[in-house]
A and B are shown apart, each in its own frame.
Chain A
Amino acid sequence: MRKNAISTRVLAALSAGALVSTVITVGATSTANAATPKAGGTLYFLEHTPRLDHYDPSRIYTGRDLAFMNSFHTRTLVAYNPVPGEKGTTLVPDLATNTGVPSNEAKTWKFTLRPGSTFEDGKAITCEDVKYGTSRVFATDVINDGPAYLQSWLDIPKNADGTSTYTGPYKNTPAGVAAFNKAVTCKGSTITFNLNKSIADFNYLATYGVISPVQKKLDTGDKYDLNPQATGPYKIVENSATQLRLVRNTKWKKSSDPVRTPYPDEVIIQFGLDEEVIDQIMLEDTIPNAVNFGGPLPTNRDKFFKDAKFADRRMNNSDPYARYLAFNLVKMPCLEIRQAMYYARDAKALLDYAGGPDYAGSYATGVISPLLATDFEATKVVGPSDYKNTADVIDATTGFKPSGNVAKAQAYMDAAKTKCPADYKKATETGIVIDGRPSASDNDTIPINVAAYARVGIKISYNLIKSGYYPTVMDATKQSDLSTSGWGADWANASTVIPELFTTAGGFNLSQNSKDPAYKAFEDKVNLAMKTTDRKKQAALWKELDKEAMKNFWVLPTLFGKAQEIWGSAVQNVFFWVPQGNLAYGKLWINQ
């Protein structure tokens, strides 16, 4: 959830998504690619937050942080190819010699380790190290925040409450340890994962640090987060409140790593800088060898994107998040009211508030982002039929109009009046409550929404949750009628979107849709898709499921977002790397 639900703090942090073969980047440089890369220098990343959420490979889940740490510091069994364009989403062997070999209907996955790879202390990486690293995420009281797929997929018995009987390496029972030893086995340099169901894309999880080597004798539990052992070309020498400083890991050998090509001598994230100050540094090019890690402030976007002098130093790309409002079906069972709320909304005013189509994105057609190219198709149920179209006209197929299709919304309200009078009364008299955060932008948009819904007689009010937003709205007893949310895929497969958002087993189901008449059939289809190893057939199923979820209005889709990147004049070879939706940090070099 940390990674994929849009957090207030790291909105700029992008998560994984599949390639869109069409142009998704505007103004990305290609000139740098022509020059020969130079080694040396220091590469700076200027960042507003005081640190990354995590450095411990088992706990990293934010897309940008993952891309950063995996580019420089942490090697995983397989990796995304750090190249521009569609090829960037292909898996390549990293610590393993292959990208994983499935068998037993994709219930068993084997990876064989490449010889010659070491930790920063020089110790050779063994199968046991990977196995140990894999075990840590089960200690949920120590190793938290990381992706939890291993707990649900590895073939280990579960307790009644759904937790694993194995509780990680620190404190456990012999039965749990035995079960884990059966689920994950080592034979020579080959590690085998035994799953409790068919997972056709399990090897994508192997791009995450949750499956990466950790030395048992160096594991300090919670504190391992501060200075995890490097396996990549850079190691941490300073991790303070001001900066994360990486220097070259002398034990790393190019011959053992087919993925990484380290150029700078040092890589430094400078934390805690004021966002305005970072933008000014970029505008003045005070530190030419620096990247604005969080992207420019909305107020400064025009300065970079309307001035030709920044043509080689800027990028405006889609972000991998689909934003939406989740209907709480327990409290909003009437389909017509949900439909009326979708059509009455003034999406245009809200998009304009956020910066317009140039900077903020386009109207969402579902919850699968266009960046998940293989699985994406405009649902033609909601939003514009062509997802890039932002013109304020009524779409002939869906009836969607950015500024609101008031007539259509009114028709649904009229229908609701007879079909579900209690819900109609609630919408028009009691009022519908929306969960949100007390941020400036949320506060500013409240009047826009209140006015838009007043056009069809719907009253709305807001429940602004000051802290612990997601834990609160995920608690069914505390969730209001609608909850503001957003989601991006964990990897290039909608298997990390549709099941997560719309099934009871999913980690982020805010729709409470299990009682909906359409749910049973939907869940069956999801299970079918999960088993389908033919990627094309699977993609077709995801597209259908996205469409069905929209037809049922389990969520109110709002926006496919955009993000901006800025860097200094000496930073070379900048290109958009699709998997995590940001720059291929490991490929940057400094023109000194």
Chain B
Amino acid sequence: MKNLLEIKDLKVTFPTDDGFVQAVDGVSISVAPGETVAIVGESGSGKTVTSLSVIGLHNRKVTQITGSILVKDKDESLDIVSAPLDKIRSYRGRVVSMIFQDPMSSLHPYYKIGSQLAEAYLVHHPGKKEEANKKALEMLSLVGIPEPQVRAKEYPHQFSGGMRQRVMIAMALMNDPAVLIADEPTTALDVTVQAQILQLLKDLQKNLNMGILLITHDLGVVAQVADRVHVMYAGRIVEQGNVDDIFYSPHAPYTLGLLKSVPRIGSRGSERLKAIPGQPPSLINLPIGCAFAPRCEYISLADENSCENLRPQLLGNSDSHKSRCHVPEEKRDKLFTAEIKGART
């Protein structure tokens, strides 16, 4: 297996009081060494559910998961969907690590930073306490925390938000994982700090040659670090492509909507941001047609009634750039590219 991570046709269903929620529906994503793959979408689009599936954190007793998630560890690979829990646990934090959105609440408030880091090492290297402590200091220093010896003896609340996210990153990297899942790693941070953290991730990736699966709703972040992008809407991927494809010639109306709703530095002051009208649909009993149809401006360009009645397939003229839409790709390519250019001048 060339890729470090291969998600194939992942479907995740939760039971709720109102019925089954199809949170993720047929998602396939792969991450290669040294590559940063982003999943973009609004909250509720299924991006976090996808990321948690990769690390096997869903409660298997209530959650139905199908498809496969192959994770490569040196010569062997493991299917997270079907593997026994013990086995998955041995991968967590070692092969696949994760950092979370809110560094404020993601660190245990009652334990010292050093011991929380060391614990991450000790889980997979039982009894090696000294090494763990050494590694903890090393990682703290690697993520740019000054005076790691002093700081290791402090508690999370003594750190600023950005510093805490550095700590989280350090903790995630304690076992030199192959894949790092970063779930909204900068959302809770100040903009200046955001840039530092992203830069740090980039630098670390280069040094360690790991694959990063970046979950975010922030197109700015995507533009900064991602190699390839998957745009999710209502549990499905509506468009995927490399970062230039997505930003300069989006093919899905939803992607276009997202891009138009983001302010640009240097844009004309009189220009208004254009929000996507309407609300994301409920994931219980999704319409049989295109999930985005109720909010879509371009229905008239498609075959009559196809948007309402037919689920669009993820297709594209090139292997790398695919999208779901009933409007013919040629029409979209021209129209959407023009709209983006228009918006940017």
Q: Do chains A and B touch in the complex (CB under 8 A)?
A: no
User: B residues engaging A (CB < 8 A)?
Assistant: none
A contact set with B: CB distance below 8 Å = none
